[in-house]
Amino acid sequence: MANIGIDLGTTNSLVAVVMGQTPRVLLDDDGRSMTPSAVRYTGAKQADGSDAPPMIGWDALDNAVDHAETTLTSVKRFMGRSLDEARKVAEELHYTLAEGEGHDVVRIQAGDKVVTPVEVSAWILRLLYMRANECLMAEPTGVVITVPAYFDDAQRQATRDAGKLAGMNVLRLLNEPTAAALAYGLQENSQGTYAVFDLGGGTFDISVLELTEGVFQVLSTAGDTRLGGDDFDRELAKLILSKAGIENAKGSVLRAAMEAAEQAKRDLTAGEIAAISVELGGQSVQMQITRAEFNDLIRPIAERTLKSCKQALADAEMEPADMDGVVLVGGSTRVPLVREIVEEFFGQKPLSNLDPDKVVALGAALQADILTGSSELSDDLLLMDVVPLSLGVETMGGVVERLIWRSSPIPVTASETFTTQVDGQNAVDLHVLQGERELAKDNRSLARFKLKGIPDMPAGLPRVKVTFTVDADGILSVSATEQYTKTHAEIEVQPSYGLSDDEIENMLESAIDNAESDVDQRLLIEARVEAQQVLAVVDKSVKADVDLLGGNETQVISQVSDALREACESDDRKRIQELTTKLDEVTAPFAQRRIERDLKLALEGQDALQVLDVLDRTVKAAEDAAN
């Protein structure tokens, strides 16, 4: 039984698993740990007329400039967001947003196909899940998916929906800084109070944690879910486009500028100067930029992180000097200016002992392993995370009554009693909100639902008890009960601009209807794994007992083995299975002779009881081998 951890990132994603007591990031066939969080919809059709699966990861980025409007990247920024919020950054996209259908859901136009961020993320998760399946030679039992600590309820719901749509058993949503702290605490034996500074491609988090003898307690968290390395790239891309005299770039031109900017950022991380050469709209742009110039360009963005750092420290009632260490997480912390800003603010050199790109995935794998219940860590470890934003309901006058405050440890339950506003009121509308502002209109609306059946009573007499519960994933559920009649209503909060249960169900049904190719791929992987296991046993047995082979057995076994190895390189599942069966058949006499000789050797010099014991163990070994 193996659980896996997945870091679903804005720019890149990773999957990891604990092997022995060590978490390891799993590599693809080309030895790469990171998979670009990119999906390209090709518009191709399968033989039955259904849509072909999209290209994912590295494949999706090949010739992305030529397919800019169908290559979807950085969709994590739109997870759980409203269409109005998405429109605010629409001009920064190389692809196009589609209008909502029926309610305020972000949809993306990819050629002739309209998709949601949840669907796009599900494809990325599927690819990582298949990688784990291949590496482990078995289907993972469950998965822990990491999310930015400052993701609100809607964004967490969207992430969980993506995992569900990908066919995964999502065990837990784990905050990224907490995952990083878990990896540091267990692998580096860290103790004390730490700030985890997590700057990825599209999101920023800062968490203050206390690590004490296996207890990982989050004291506070803050951040910005629209701040990351993508913003550095965008500023540099604007400079490149202005050099070419291009305004309001779209599609392929914008994508080409962004790719050139991203490469220049990497070059400036390693060196002091970057040469930029890119074709934009038929003209060639050649320019150089120094690290100092780049720093001036991105400094306002990088320094925005400090506002959240100050907030997190204030919530924890601490100062920068109180930190025993500052852990860097996320690929964007490789940018030299970011490290300089962090070091200056906290007054100490930040830690990057573990790879900032991998540490979140490693922590997710550790948490996933703990959730198996069989990990040696499970009895000695306690994770105590917090609610990132306050939760409450709208009351009379449009003000917010908070039931759960920011930085409350989770899981948590809180209740408050309300009453009616007019005589004879037989229903109460509940408006669930998230945020720190005093007025409902200034906070994030999560859901609305109605409690009906309140008895006909004068205003102020009914007693309606509202209960908020936030689970270990940070997901909110709300219930309301009228105390006299025990009339009850409850809801697991589903944001008005999130995917409805029906939509998720329809997507799942669609995935099932069109999943033949996925099923075939899974069966092919299983056939290859079985074949490779049989080949390994045969090779070992022949090498150990070659003297038991007679006639042309050696030649026949070798021929079938070579044919099976060759078949494993193909996609012909039927031939792999046939050759695996044939190899079992041609080695059966040899296997029988090995058992007989081992039995004879075991019986020499034994008394009757010992003989029976040997026979019993031999039969059991044969049964185990057959199974």
Helix (H, G, I), strand (E, B) or coil at 546: helix
Give the orientation angle of helix 359-370 with respect to helix 176-187, to 10 degrees.
80
DSSP letter at 191 equals -
Catalytic residue among 69, 152, 176, 385: 176
Dihedral angle computed from the Cα positions of residues 240, 241, 242 and 244, in that order, rounded to the nearest 10 degrees: 100
Please name which of 253, 177, 263, 244 lies closest in space to residue 217, comparing C-alpha atoms. Answer: 177
| CA angle at 160 for the pair 158 and 166, rounded to the nearest 5° | 105
**Closest of 557, 412, 559 to residue 471, by C-alpha:** 412
Supply 337's token pair: 């200016």
CA distance 82 to 74: 16
Instruction: Indicate which residue of 7, 230, 369, 394 is catalytic.
Output: 7
Q: Pick the catalytic residue: 152, 161, 198, 473?
A: 198
Contact 584, 534 (CB under 8 A): yes
Which neighbouring-strand residues pair with 56?
Answer: 39
- At 485, list the tokens: 């009649």
Question: Can you tell me the distance from the alpha carbon of 7 to that of 499, in angstroms, rounded to the nearest whole number?
Answer: 22
Concerning whether 355 is annotated as a catalytic residue, the answer is: no
Inter-residue contact 23 to 17 (CB < 8 Å)? yes
Structure tokens at 563: 């044919």
Q: Is 224 a catalytic residue?
A: no
Is 7 a residue of the active site?
yes
Give the C-alpha separation, 128 to 34, whole Å.
10
Neighbours of 603 (CB within 10 A): 13
- Chain centre to alpha carbon of residue 316: 28
**Residue 110: which residues within 8 A CB-CB, separation 6 or more?**
40, 41, 69, 70, 72, 95
- Residue of 354, 21, 13, 379 lying closest to 183 (CA atoms): 354
Burial profile 269-301: b = 16 or more Cβ within 10 angstroms, e = fewer: beeeebebebebeeeebeeebebeebbebbeeb
Could you give the C-alpha distances from 228 to 50, 205, 415, 602, in angstroms and in order? 37, 10, 37, 67
**Residue 76 catalytic?**
yes
Residue 605 backbone class (left: φ over 0; alpha: ψ -120 to 50; beta: rest): left
Residues 179 and 362: their CA atoms lie apart, in Å, by 8
Q: Give the active site residue among 76, 164, 265, 358.
A: 76
H or E element: which one contains 71? strand 71-73
Beta strand 399-404 with 391-395 is antiparallel
Query: At residue 466, what are phi and psi to the nearest 5 degrees?
Result: -105, 130
Active-site positions read 7, 76, 176, 198
